C-alpha cells in the first residue's frame, strides 16, 4: 500500500517495491504534488508487459475522482477502455469511517489545509504509522497521532513564516509540538523545501521534541 504519490514518487517507489506487489494507493488530498504520479503508474500498469492485467485499488478523498477524471479527460483518447479504470479500481473513501486494506486499518482526520485534506493513521499488529499529509498545526492531527509508533509529519515552513496567513502548512517546530502533544515514539519530518538545510530543520524540532527524530529525504527507509 502507498500513501500519496506525488511528483517523482513513483520512480522512487520502484527502487523499493515491484509494481506487482502494490495492492492499493490512498491519496490524502487533490493537490498535484500528492497525486500526480498516479498517471505514470497507470501507464506502467497498462503497457508494462510484466504487469499487464493488474488492477490497483485507488482510494481518493471525497470529490477526488471527479477532479482526477477532469484532468485525465484532457489526454488524447486511446483506442478503447477508460483511462483510469483500465488499471485502477477507483474508489472514494469516507474519512469518517475506518478503511480496511488487507490486514491494515486506516483511520482519517481532517487537517488545516487549503483544500479538503485528510491525515491518515495506518495500524496493524499493534504498530502504527500516522501521516500528517499537508496541515497547519491542528489538534485533530495530534489526536490521530496519539502514541503512534511513527509520526510522519510535514515541515514546510521556516519559523519565520509561522505568522503568515492564510496557513496550510507547519514548521518543523510546530510539527515537533504536535508530536510532543501526541506522545509519539518517533518523529520523521518530511515535505520541506530543497533549499532548506536538514540539520537546521532537525535543530528547530529538537528544541521541542526530545524523542527519536529524523529529517527524511528521497530513498529514506524505516521499519515499524
What residues make up the domain containing 66? Answer: 1-93
The CATH number that applies at residue 2 is 3.60.15.10
pLDDT for position 80: 61
Q: Is 109 helix (H, G, I), strand (E, B) or coil?
A: strand
190 located within any domain? yes
pLDDT for position 104: 97
Last residue of a domain, one of 93, 118, 147: 93
Instruction: Please give the Cα distance from 78 to 55 (Å, whole number).
Output: 18
Written as one string, the DSSP assignment of 140-177 is HHHHHTTT-SEEEEE--B-GGGTT-SS----BHHHHHH
| Residue ranges, the chain, pLDDT below 50 | none
Alpha helices in 48-184 (DSSP H): 64-72, 139-144, 172-182
pLDDT for position 79: 62
pLDDT for position 106: 98
The pTM of this model reads 0.95
pLDDT for position 51: 67
Last residue of a domain, one of 37, 70, 93: 93
User: Do 78 and 51 share a structural domain?
Assistant: yes
User: Do 46 and 105 share a structural domain?
Assistant: no
Amino acid at each position: 500500500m502507498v500513501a500519496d504519490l506525488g511528483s517523482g514518487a513513483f520512480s522512487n517507489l520502484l527502487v523499493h517495491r515491484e509494481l506487482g506487489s502494490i495492492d492499493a494507493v490512498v491519496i490524502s488530498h487533490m493537490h498535484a504534488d500528492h497525486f500526480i504520479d498516479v498517471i505514470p503508474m497507470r501507464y506502467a500498469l497498462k503497457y508494462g508487459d510484466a504487469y499487464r492485467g493488474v488492477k490497483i485499488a485507488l482510494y481518493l478523498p471525497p470529490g477526488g475522482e471527479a477532479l482526477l477524471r477532469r484532468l485525465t479527460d484532457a489526454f488524447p483518447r486511446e483506442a478503447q477502455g477508460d483511462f483510469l479504470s483500465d488499471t485502477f479500481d477507483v474508489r472514494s473513501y469516507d474519512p469518517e469511517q475506518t478503511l480496511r486494506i488487507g490486514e491494515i486499518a486506516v483511520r482519517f482526520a481532517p487537517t488545516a489545509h487549503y483544500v479538503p485534506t485528510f491525515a491518515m493513521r495506518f495500524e496493524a499488529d499493534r504498530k502504527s504509522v500516522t501521516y500528517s499529509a499537508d496541515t497547519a498545526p491542528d489538534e485533530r492531527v495530534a489526536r490521530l497521532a496519539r502514541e503512534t509508533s511513527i509520526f510522519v509529519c510535514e515541515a514546510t515552513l521556516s519559523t519565520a513564516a509561522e505568522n503568515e496567513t492564510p496557513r496550510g502548512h507547519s514548521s518543523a517546530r510546530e510539527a515537533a509540538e504536535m508530536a510532543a502533544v501526541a506522545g509519539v515514539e518517533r518523529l520523521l519530518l518530511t515535505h520541506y523545501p530543497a533549499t532548506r538545510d536538514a540539520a537546521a530543520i532537525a535543530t528547530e524540532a529538537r528544541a521541542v521534541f526530545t524523542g527519536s527524530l529524523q529529517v527524511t529525504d528521497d530513498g529514506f527507509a524505516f521499519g515499524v
